[in-house]
């Protein structure tokens, strides 16, 4: 056992990267749920985003175009969910589960010829001298652009929900869709847009795994991250900054336990592997003591009855 081999600076830098897929997917799902829709298809949208991003990045040679394609792919799949739940008024839970299964199958089909291929590498953002600052440089200024986009999105979602009229309308639709309809807001249109936003972010989260975290394609490689993102939204009481906190906590512990495994700590690997899930959930359960935060219309089917 050699705990000295764990470098805290590299650990913190790596946790931000490990947290980004969850962060992206959870931020998107937060917007969806704030609009009153429960989309359990996050995992499916992530894996479809992962293969779309991977394939397009390989074909074009540009990881950035790959991320755009991942967002489009995730949004396209979520549009199917929107069609089922907002137009056909299908049950949201069942539709979401179906979406996940469908996404897993579809991605396996699409990805058949990409197994074993290496994607183009995405470069880090060049902060110039800032990256040379000791400690802070490697932690804050030596990452790929998508990681920064993720953090900026959290801030943008928070500001939109809190400060803008658009955010107010979104919250209103999620809080009481009948009242919002009575006031003349287009509940179905707003929700469809929110669902597509959630799909796009989930797709980007998936592509972050296949293009940056584990630069390769394997079937089912999102491995439950979408479900963690879903849980994170609930335990974060639908608050963007808590989602960020939860994602970093999860990413941090994942990274730490990998390092501990590498250092050969005398704890069975299985316990280490489950620790991120347990610790994240325990912390967020403690944080989410104010229970009344759930959007009032969450998961309920809206039908304008006249």
Q: What residue ranges bind other proteins (CB under 8 A)?
A: 165, 168-169, 171-172, 175-176, 178-180, 182-185, 291-292, 295-296, 306
CB 226 within 8 A of CB 56: no
Distance CA(306)–CA(300), nearest Å, equals 18
Q: Measured between alpha carbons, how far is residue 39 from residues 31, 104, 120, 252 in Å?
A: 11, 16, 32, 26
Smallest separation, CB 168 to other proteins (Å): 6
The 8-class DSSP code of residue 61 comes to S
Smallest separation, CB 89 to other proteins (Å): 16
Nearer to other proteins, 64 or 193 (CB): 193
Smallest separation, CB 295 to other proteins (Å): 8
Smallest separation, CB 293 to other proteins (Å): 8
Nearer to other proteins, 111 or 240 (CB): 240
CB 45 within 8 A of CB 77: yes
Distance CA(8)–CA(283), nearest Å, equals 22
**What count of Cα atoms within 13 Å lies in the side-chain half-sphere of residue 49?**
34
Smallest separation, CB 93 to other proteins (Å): 18
Nearer to other proteins, 33 or 43 (CB): 33
CB 247 within 8 A of CB 199: no
Smallest separation, CB 40 to other proteins (Å): 23
Nearer to other proteins, 32 or 47 (CB): 32
First-residue to last-residue Cα distance in the chain: 69
Nearer to other proteins, 129 or 292 (CB): 292
CB 248 within 8 A of CB 11: no
For tokens 């974060």, name the residue.
Answer: 236
Length of the chain: 306
Nearer to other proteins, 118 or 291 (CB): 291
């Amino acid at each position: 056992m050699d705990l000295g081999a764990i470098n805290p600076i590299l650990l913190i830098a790596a946790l931000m990267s490990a947290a980004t897929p969850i962060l992206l997917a959870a931020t998107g799902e937060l917007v969806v749920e704030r609009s009153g829709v429960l989309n359990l298809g996050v995992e499916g949208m992530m894996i479809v985003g992962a293969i779309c991003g991977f394939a397009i990045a390989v074909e074009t040679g540009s990881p950035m175009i790959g991320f755009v394609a991942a967002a489009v792919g995730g949004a396209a799949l979520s549009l199917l969910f929107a069609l089922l739940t907002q137009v056909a008024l299908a049950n949201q839970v069942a539709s979401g589960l179906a979406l996940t299964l469908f996404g897993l199958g579809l991605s396996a089909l699409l990805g058949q010829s990409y197994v074993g291929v290496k994607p183009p590498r995405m470069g880090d953002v060049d902060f110039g001298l800032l990256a040379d600052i000791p400690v802070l440089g490697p932690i804050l200024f030596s990452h790929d652009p998508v990681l920064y986009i993720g953090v900026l999105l959290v801030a943008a979602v928070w500001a939109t929900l809190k400060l803008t009229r658009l955010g107010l309308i979104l919250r209103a639709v999620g809080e009481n869709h009948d009242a919002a309809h009575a006031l003349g807001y287009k509940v179905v249109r707003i929700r469809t847009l929110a669902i597509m936003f959630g799909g796009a972010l989930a797709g980007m989260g998936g592509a972050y795994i296949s293009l940056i975290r584990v630069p390769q394609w394997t079937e089912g490689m999102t491995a439950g991250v979408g479900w963690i993102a879903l849980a994170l939204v609930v335990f974060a009481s639908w608050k963007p900054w808590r989602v960020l906190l939860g994602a970093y906590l999860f990413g941090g512990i994942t990274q730490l336990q990998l390092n501990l495994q590498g250092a050969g700590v005398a704890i069975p690997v299985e316990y280490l592997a489950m620790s991120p899930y347990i610790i994240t959930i325990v912390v967020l359960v403690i944080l989410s003591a104010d229970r009344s935060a759930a959007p009032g219309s969450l998961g309920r089917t809206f039908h304008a009855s006249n």
